[in-house]
Structure 1
Amino acid sequence: MDFEEAASRLYATPAGDFIATRNELAKQLKADGDQLGSTRLKALRKPTVAAWLTNLVAHELPDEIDDLLALGDEFREATADLDGERLRELTPKRHKLLDKLSKEATKLSEREGQKVSADVGQKLRETLDAALVDPAAGEAVREGRLSSALRHVGFGVVDESGEPSNVMPLTDERRQRAQERRAKSSAKEAEETAAKESAAEKAKREKAERDQEEREAAEKAQAKQELEDAVAAAKQAETSVEDLAGQLDQAREALADAQEAVHRIGDELDEARKAARAAQKESREARKRYNRL
């Protein structure tokens, strides 16, 4: 067994058994001579409930995760082409697939004895959506080793109407091709529109665009701050959980030692009682012999 196999087994284990399984696998790697792998495994963090649920879905429903990532590829292609009609067609599929995976995840979680709260359900959906939007997030979800839920905090793939909103930066080459295609198809329309626009109308439109950009920038900054706060809170919570888990392990060891001492003292007490009874019997026999003299 190498580190990769051990890590996969670790994140496939039930959440309640994570710490014990991690320690056991780390010891096995060390015994096999893989000290580095053992150290790396010990550094892996226990997943949050939402991350554990996402990993469970990745392990149990790999085909559905592949469908999700394939849909993400279609979104990125349509975005690169600035194909609004195609994006409007894909958007309902996106919501339908996320709904399906969320329902399946709830069933899997209940099978494992873990209830899904509204907050965990929302974080799961955000993680799956991030996997659809971002290729790196998609590979992380497919791998099934998340320790924390994910969230896409940039401009989403599309807005509510299905219009493109630059999920991820386009390469200069792809951007140029998309612009050229749209320029050819809309050159005549743009000329007619520009001819009809007055200076006042143009200024009003530009002001509205600037206002929209400012609002989007403010929303992005707020989302980033919320993400940073959530990540910090999650790290603090994970540290507390690990500390408490360590204290519990120590307490269990102390309890085992105390129980062993109780058994040992009990055995010694039984022996002492036997010796006392034997001594009392010997004393009575000696007294009888003395009285007969």
Structure 2
Amino acid sequence: MDFEEAADALYAAPAADFIARRNELAKQLKADGDQLGSTRLKALRKPTVAAWLANLVSREQPDEIDDLLALGDEFREATADLDGERLRELTPKRHKAIDGLVKAAGELADQHGQKISADVGQKLRETLDAALVDPAAGDAVREARLSSALRHVGFGVVDENGEPSNVTALTDERRQAAKDRRAKAREVEVEEAEQESAAERKAREQAEREEAERKAEAQAEFEAAVKAAESAEATVEELDGQLTDAQEALENARDEVRRLTAELDEAKKVARDAQKESREARKRYNRL
């Protein structure tokens, strides 16, 4: 075991066991002949609860941490380019990424029997934001060996006491290893996206065909309904016209009935008068 492996094992230990674990690992390094590594390990500080939580989520959610740091690269590029539109697009992604990690950290803490206060949660959020904003802080968070939570204050990164952070830059070898991990993760995502299985592609294409058929059927039903409505409307208009004509014909017929009735009444009166005159004439004739 070398110093790097011992340091990783130390910060992966439960916070309550930190001191005992540090002494144990330092003793092992010394026994292996690494006196310098043993001395360096003894100098490592016990993490605060917020730092322990940040280290925990970094170990358990490495892909999400890599995504956060990659988002930080995009932010810096957009800022350098004065690309306001791009920054507005990235801002909600920034909040979503940090919110997701804070939620995951809370669940992990529960699994380890650690209660997390609102203050610790806020410090974790500030640490993750500092990791996104500051590349050195991002590397430190990714390495999961923080002893204090971090906070970006505009001119740099400070620890929980407000003092300039003693986050040290990684060696070129470890920094390159971190970049390689992020690059590899992105390559895997691209490969997974491109290597869609034949079954999945077939299912997707089948679903697309079925959706197209449903849309075509719905369109046909809609067009048929429109035609039926137009036909019904035309029928209504035709019957309405026929009804109007019939009503006009009925009114004309009623006028004709009234006229003929009046003429009939007049003819009956004339006939009665003629009959009366005929009777009178016959009477006059008989008296002769």
Q: TM-score range by the shorter chain?
A: 0.5 to 0.7
Q: Which residue of 1 aligns with 2:143?
A: 143
Q: 2:161 aligns with which of 221, 230, 233?
A: 230
**Which 4+ residue blocks in structure 1 deviate beyond 6 angstroms?**
none
Q: Which residue of 2 aligns with 1:88?
A: 88
Q: CA deviation at 1:228?
A: 7.7
CA deviation map 1:141-199 (0-9, x unaligned): 000000000000007xxxxxxxxxxxx8xxxxxxxxxxxxxxxxxxxxxxxxxxxxxxx
CA deviation map 1:189-227 (0-9, x unaligned): xxxxxxxxxxxxxxxxxxxxxxxxxxxxxxxxxxx9xx5
Q: In 1, distance between residues paired with 2:91 and 2:69?
A: 14
Q: CA deviation at 1:230?
A: 1.9
Q: Secondary structure at the match of 2:99?
A: helix
Q: Which residue of 2 aligns with 1:53?
A: 53
- Amino acid corresponding to residue 5 of structure 1 in structure 2: E
User: Percent identity at matched positions?
Assistant: 80
CA deviation map 1:57-107 (0-9, x unaligned): 111110000000000000001001100000000000000111100000000
- Amino acid corresponding to residue 142 of structure 2 in structure 1: R
Give TM-score, length-normalised by structure 2. Answer: 0.55
- Structure 2 residues not aligned, in runs of 5+: 167-288
Larger radius of gyration: 2
- Amino acid corresponding to residue 161 of structure 2 in structure 1: A
Alignment of 1:7-86 (within 5 A): 7-86=7-86
- Amino acid corresponding to residue 12 of structure 2 in structure 1: A
For the 8 Å contact 2:22–2:42, the answer to whether it is kept is: yes
CA deviation map 1:6-31 (0-9, x unaligned): 00000011101101100000000000
Q: Secondary structure at the match of 2:161?
A: helix
* Count of matched residue pairs: 165
- Amino acid corresponding to residue 230 of structure 1 in structure 2: N
Alignment of 1:1-293 (within 5 A): 1-154=1-154, 230-231=161-162
Give TM-score, length-normalised by structure 1. Answer: 0.54
For the 8 Å contact 2:62–2:142, the answer to whether it is kept is: yes
For the 8 Å contact 2:55–2:145, the answer to whether it is kept is: yes
- Structure 1 residues not aligned, in runs of 5+: 156-167, 169-223, 236-293
Q: Which has the higher contact order (CA 8 A, sep 6+)?
A: 1
Q: CA deviation at 1:139?
A: 0.2
Q: CA deviation at 1:229?
A: 8.2
CA deviation map 1:253-289 (0-9, x unaligned): xxxxxxxxxxxxxxxxxxxxxxxxxxxxxxxxxxxxx
Q: Is the alpha carbon distance of 1:142 and 1:103 closer, same or farther for their aligned partners in structure 2, counting shifts above 3 Å?
A: same
Q: CA deviation at 1:135?
A: 0.4
